[in-house]
Each structure stands twice: as C-alpha cells, then as structure tokens.
C-alpha cells in the first residue's frame, strides 16, 4: 500500500515514520509512505502557499495553485489514487473508514493549514474529506498521522496477527474487554479469577460480557447502534444486575 502525504511541514512526519510499528512496516516494505512538501510546487522566491481571503476576515487561506499542482503530481503517477483532505468539515474518522482505506492500493492525504484551503481545491481536486473529531487543530499533519497509523496497522502483515485486530475496540461496534498481565497480584489488586481458570469458553464469555458492560458504561451511543442477540442481552443483564448488587 502507498500513502502519500502532502504538507508544508514535512519535518513533522520524520519521527513518527521512523518509530514503532509504522517504521518497521516501512522498513519491511509492507507500506510505502511518500511525504511531499507543498512548497516545492509554489512559485516565487518565497514559495508562498497562503494568501489573504477574498471578502476580508482574519487568517490566511492556502492558495489553490501549489495544492493543485502537488495533487496533480500524485495523480500523474497513479490516476486511481484516492485523494483525501484532512478537514474539520469531513466525515468523522471511524474504524470502518480505516478498514475501507486499508483495502485501497494508494491513498493521498492532504494536510490543510491556516483557515483552510481554497474552496476550489475541496470542490474539484479531492475525492473525500476526513475529520478526526469535533475540535480544531493548527493543521492537518497530526490528523494525517492518525489516519496513517490506523490504516497502516490493518494492512496484512503489519501487525503479524489478524486475531488481535479482530478483538480490538470498535471492531464489531463495541469497546474492548479489560486486559491483565503478570503479576497476578499488584499492590493488593488481584487479576480476575476467571482469567486464571484455564476454562477458555468461560473466559470468552466473561470477555464478551465485559465488552458489553464497558461499552454501556463509557460509550452508550455505540451500544444504541448495535442489534444485540439474545445471548448478548442476557450477558449484559447479568452484568448490570451484578453491578447493582456490588
């Protein structure tokens, strides 16, 4: 999979692309990440990429010419590339979108800055817009890295195990169950006995129940979107009753 990132601050990408799972995936050539400086496509001695907005107002707007030229260079190499603008006005990034993008061979992430990009870029040069949440950042670089991380880890071979992906939060619409590791007792707090029982069927049932309960407690909005089967409803009812008794 190829991921292009268009930005006026390419230095912000250097560290994250060299570390941890993403760095290893790049080194193993499971993914290819290409960072392009939009300023390379700007004209004039100062390589200016922004200007004052027509109609007045505060802030600056990213000029269309450098952005369009940078996008065109990516499309010239691969006309099928999916070009995505990171923008507060985009659809909210969720796990299903990460899965959707991970199945594409080539994605281009465009990092906006200042008050945003010239509207003609949004209307005529990008295929999609994504927001990582209902808040405002100084630019699209951190959102681009967030999307990159979420998508790249779903590419086959990057994590090395499809099983771990299948049980993660938001896969299947629920939050993940609690995790524990050694030591068995830490500062008087004991690991739940069920996890030490060796009864794998009982452990799976407990984990599913905990996943349902945690989602109800922390993200009830997710639970409202799920159509629970009779067994899940039973597990959740038992957990709620036990919670009330405690």
Q: What digits encode the pLDDT tens for the residues 172-213?
A: 789 999 999 999 999 999 999 999 999 999 999 999 999 999
Q: How far is 50 from 41, CA to CA, in rounded Å?
A: 12
Domain count, the chain: 2
Q: How far is 119 from 137, CA to CA, in rounded Å?
A: 19
Query: Is 85 found in the same domain as 34?
Result: yes
Q: Which domain holds residue 241?
A: 167-245
Say whether pLDDT at 54 is over 80. Answer: yes
Question: The CATH number of the domain where 240 resides is what?
Answer: 1.10.1270.20
Whole-prediction pTM: 0.87
Higher pLDDT, 97 or 160: 97
Query: Is 230 found in the same domain as 121?
Result: no
pLDDT at 246: 78
Question: What Å distances lie between residue 3 and 11, 81, 85, 105, CA to CA?
Answer: 17, 9, 13, 9
Q: What digits encode the pLDDT tens for the residues 60-90?
A: 999 999 999 999 999 999 999 999 999 999 9
Q: Which of 99, 128, 160 is the last residue of a domain?
A: 160
Q: Which of 136, 90, 94, 135 is nearest to 109 (CA)?
A: 90
Question: The CATH number of the domain where 87 resides is what?
Answer: 3.40.1280.10
Max CA pair span of the chain: 72
């Amino acid at each position: 999979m190829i991921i292009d990132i268009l930005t006026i601050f390419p230095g912000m990408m250097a560290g994250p692309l060299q570390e941890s799972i993403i760095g290893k995936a790049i080194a193993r050539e499971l993914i290819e990440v290409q960072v392009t400086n939009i300023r390379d496509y700007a004209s004039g001695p100062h390589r200016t990429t922004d200007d004052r907005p027509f109609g007045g107002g505060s802030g600056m707007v990213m000029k269309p010419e450098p952005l369009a030229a940078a996008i065109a260079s990516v499309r010239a190499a691969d006309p099928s590339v999916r070009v995505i603008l990171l923008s507060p006005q985009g659809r909210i990034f969720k796990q299903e979108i990460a899965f959707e993008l991970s199945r594409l061979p080539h994605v281009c992430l465009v990092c906006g800055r200042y008050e945003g990009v010239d509207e003609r870029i949004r209307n005529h040069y990008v295929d999609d817009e994504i927001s990582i949440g209902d808040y405002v950042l100084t630019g699209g670089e951190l959102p681009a890295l967030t999307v990159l991380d979420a998508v790249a880890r779903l590419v086959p071979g990057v994590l090395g195990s499809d099983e771990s992906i299948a049980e993660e939060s938001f896969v299947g619409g629920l939050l993940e169950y609690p995790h524990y590791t050694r030591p068995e007792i830490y500062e008087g707090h004991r690991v739940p006995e069920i996890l030490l029982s060796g009864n794998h069927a009982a452990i799976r049932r407990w984990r599913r129940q905990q996943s349902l309960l945690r989602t109800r407690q922390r993200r009830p909005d997710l639970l409202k979107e799920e159509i629970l089967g009779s067994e899940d409803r039973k597990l959740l009812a038992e957990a709620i009753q036990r919670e009330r008794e405690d």
